[in-house]
Chain A
């Protein structure tokens, strides 16, 4: 446990000297800021019609931004250790492979949580601007959903990063997997007779946009996200193991 924390802390601090991490944070805050401004503007136009602005445009686009940004945060995490040979240091220190992987994931997750925390400014400001305020229950579940989506994506990214020694390769491989989960895996559900439910279940968007994003907390969605997290961490640990035995 302690090793996980030691590794997570180092990674978390490392993001603050990484230009890519700043770029990711800046891009997310900028895009969400623009959307926020649009929400305010449009609701000010409609104010006489009594429309309550809602935060779904913000949380919804944030989830989409995660598809593009999490691979940039995770690509380096293990691929760079493989490339620089520092993996040899970590694997000959008294650290379990799983502790290393979970530590790397936790470090990136805490950094993403920091970005997510900053974006809370937008709904809080929105809440202050409108009367009677935004739907706070909706906001909490949507943010919970965002955190789960981020945690899953980061876990997949860490798992894939462990397979590579080249961070660009790790980036594109992660992006490919996330795009598959986000858009592609749901498609066959409309065309196949048998197994349509399986494809529908695998489709990540349904677990966010149709549930947490609209204020519903279902056990199946939670199980889905936790399974993704576990899968990513498992792939990462397995890949370290395979490298050892090669």
Chain B
């Protein structure tokens, strides 16, 4: 069905009527969102509005209740069988998931492995790289995030900012097409945020990665993102390019939220 030409025109990620609920609580309601290839999208919104859930669904950390998530032109949460879409089996899930990587708010580094160990573990066990190849790749990435000299350090011996940069290198080592960042600076002391954001900036300019990031740093969102989505109670309330949206938000809720955030800074 898909010609090669089609594929490049399709969005990198598509949420197609995705619904997620915990029991009676509907966290995301009929979400429709397309993200283009190489696009950088910032997700903002008040706490509990479902931002993290969007990323976790895309990382297959949460099951969805309705709708389909597409990645790189093929369904991820579902697979085609006899011309119909049926829920994906683990094999399909794993194959498509390989295109997505994620960086967590609390780093989630493996504490029993060094920085280098963290970065070569999955390339060796999952991608089947040789140890030498994996180490070369990891060294390059640790260099990219400015930690070439911390290879042999354990996570507990690194500052929060350094740990988060290792986590970014670790995710990149799997060569994902889509990177998800969930409030990656929220757990850091303010003076350490800069070094992490700097790395993300560099990634944005040097790589054709598609990026989705949940952030509370409006300044960074404004300067970095191609598009900003404002979530409110499980729905996209307003979206647009950052200059317009921050300068003149159309929705009353957006206005309120932006005012509250700006005041607190």
**Are A and B physically bound partners?**
no
Binding site for B on A (CB under 8 A): none
Binding site for A on B (CB under 8 A): none
